[in-house]
Chains A and B, each alone.
Chain A
Amino acid sequence: MSAEAGAETLVARPRGRATYWLGGDGFFRAVVTACSAVVLLTILAMVVFLLVQGFDAIRHYGFFSFLTSARWAPSEADPNVSSPNPYGILQFIYGTMLTSCIAMVIAVPVAVSVALYITNFAPTRLRRGLSSLVDLLAAVPSVVYGFWGIFALIPALKPIGEFLASTVGKVPVIGVAFSGPFFGYSYFTAGVVLAIMVLPIIAAVCREIFATAPLNWKEAATALGATRWEVAKIAVYRPSRSAIMGASILGLGRALGETIAVTMVIGNSVLAINKSILGQGATMASVIANEFTEATEPFHLQALFVVGFWLLVVALVVNIIARRIVAAAVAL
């Protein structure tokens, strides 16, 4: 075939719709576009199916009665009685919030410090290694953290818990939150385990943000005579505060839904809201893991799906807010 003929083909027969499809180009495009819908459909289906599974219980007891009661007593459930609702989930929401708060109080300052140290202070040769080691904390499986929590962490926390109970626990008003006895399995222990688990997530995002801090700000601060600490504080930490917020909320989202490690160290008490952080309780995630395969009472399994539905809603909201903040901060 001469070059002329080839050129003629190109001009005379621009790639038509048929070639586009038969050549596989359009087909391939359709396939990848279809795949991109999978993630969105999955999230949508999760919301719908959890709601559908819990629907019988919701219709029987009412949508909001789950959120207004802290009494979880499956053995009192009676298919003929619809009030009061024996499946109040308030204490699990409380447990989830409390353990996550403890985790945040510990993990956020530590993670920010670690990220700041790695990006601004550590010897350059060590930075990559230190980052990898912190990331390794995220690689350890949840079940291993829980197991380690029972046998290594609880004995180590025991003196701290007993000390808190015997000192702060005796103070009138705030003492309720630290009152003993401390048996090891507690909101406190769960919070500490969660802190270790979310720390690498927060630290990784912070590291990324700190590493992209504008160099000319650092140079400007240094030129004005700022010390190394002041440079890190003025040119790296302060401009990143909203992004740190986003990173922390991302960690919070992870802490809210963490299941197995929490189930292993929280004590799984479902009797009532326990005001003391040294007491035993349950979270939304832990009660599902703990009771799901043994849910034999009327509406029990459906009620667990209601718990799952609200956990999903909370996780969606928290993650959407966190991603927005982080995305806005990184885009700046």
Chain B
Amino acid sequence: MTTVAAEIASYAQRRRRQSAVRTAALAVVMAGVLAVLAWVLFYVAVQGFSAISPAFFVKNPPGNPSAAGGGFANGIIGSFIIVGIAALIAVPIGILTAIYLAEYGRGRWSESVSFFTDVLIGIPTIVTGAFVYSIWVIRFGFSGFAGSLALAIVMVPLITRTTTQMLKLVPDDLREGSLALGGSQRKTVLRIVLPAALPGIITGLMLAVARAMGETAPLLLTALGNDLFTEANPGKRMSTLSLQIFSNAITGFKAGQARAWAGALTLVAIVLVLTFAARFFARRSRVSR
């Protein structure tokens, strides 16, 4: 009798110990992942701060990549122009698609649009670049605008997905109230539902912009890059921050790599600021959470 009781007790003890040990193991894995994140961010910060200077933001790269000094001014300008145009294309399409999905769409068509929006998010961006090459660059040559087209294709599904989620979070009472007061569906959507969901939508936009800022692969096939001078005309080939990091990182010259580290720090800073700003907006949102 006592042996059975002792056995049960020891079994329970063993299970408790197992629970504690495995929970600890999960905590260790969690800590490991955070350590990798810290490793990446600190490494970029240390290398970047040792290479960055005010001149980095106002000078273009030297003609000879092995020469020290210079900066990515033209790439930073190019990034903002290309991503800006991409946003101008992607925001209306993305938001209107989301309005369709959240407010109008019923049945098969709506389901497949929603499904393939998610699928488009998973399409390799290098393929997007090759696609834009085949529809645009072949006729009009490499240009900043072609880069914008490629980034717009990357951004549209991201914007559509977050906006759809935010619109669906708006309580139906608001819609019913507007319709009951005689508002048309268009007015209800544009004047009532959209403003209510706006903070969440802006969050999604910022995350999409952050993603586009860091994209490199599709730009290799579309904007191509232009290290020699500042090009503000999106009809011509243009450099971006991401392209300059890529090309300088793989030069093998210490001076080029130093510039690339300064660029990487700048890019990570831009992306993190956008990400945190997006979080801030999300927290202020009335409808989400």
Contacts and interface: CB of A to CB of B under 8 A. Distances in A.
B37 A315 contact: no
Interface string B217-253: 1001100100000000000000000100110011000
A44 to B, nearest CB: 9
B113 interface: yes
Nearest to B96: A35
The listed residue with most A CB atoms (<10 A of its CB), out of B33, B135, B210, is B33
Given A45-B131, A143-B242, A136 B30 contact: no
Q: Which of B113, B122, B184 has the most CB of A within 10 A?
A: B122
Nearest to B17: A227
A142 B264 CA distance: 11
Given A31-B96, A39-B156, A319-B122, A50 B130 contact: yes
A122 interface: yes
Interface stretch (B53-61, B64-72, B104-112, B197-205): B104-112
A196 B38 CA distance: 12
Interface residues of B, number: 89
Nearest to A322: B122
B44 A228 contact: no
Contact of B119 (A53, A229, A316): A316
A289 B220 contact: yes
Interface stretch (A68-76, A110-118, A215-223): A110-118
B7 interface: no
Nearest to B121: A319
B5 interface: no
Contacts of A160: none
Interface string B110-128: 1011011111101111111
A260 B267 CA distance: 15
Given A39-B157, A116-B26, A292-B220, A147 B260 contact: yes
Interface string B80-117: 00000000000011001101110111000110110111
Given A29-B185, A31-B96, A305 B33 contact: no
B47 A35 contact: no
Contacts of B138: 53
Given A256-B124, A323-B118, A144 B214 contact: yes
A146 B127 contact: no
A177 interface: no
Contact of B33 (A24, A199, A227): A199
B50 interface: no
B264 A143 contact: yes
Given A45-B131, A142-B214, A293-B220, A117 B104 contact: no
A71 B261 CA distance: 37
Interface of A: 23-25, 28-29, 31-33, 35-40, 42-43, 45-46, 49-50, 52-53, 110, 113-114, 116-118, 121-122, 130, 132-134, 136-137, 139-148, 150-152, 196, 199, 227-230, 250, 253-254, 256-260, 264, 285, 288-289, 292-293, 304-305, 308, 311-312, 315-316, 318-320, 322-323, 327
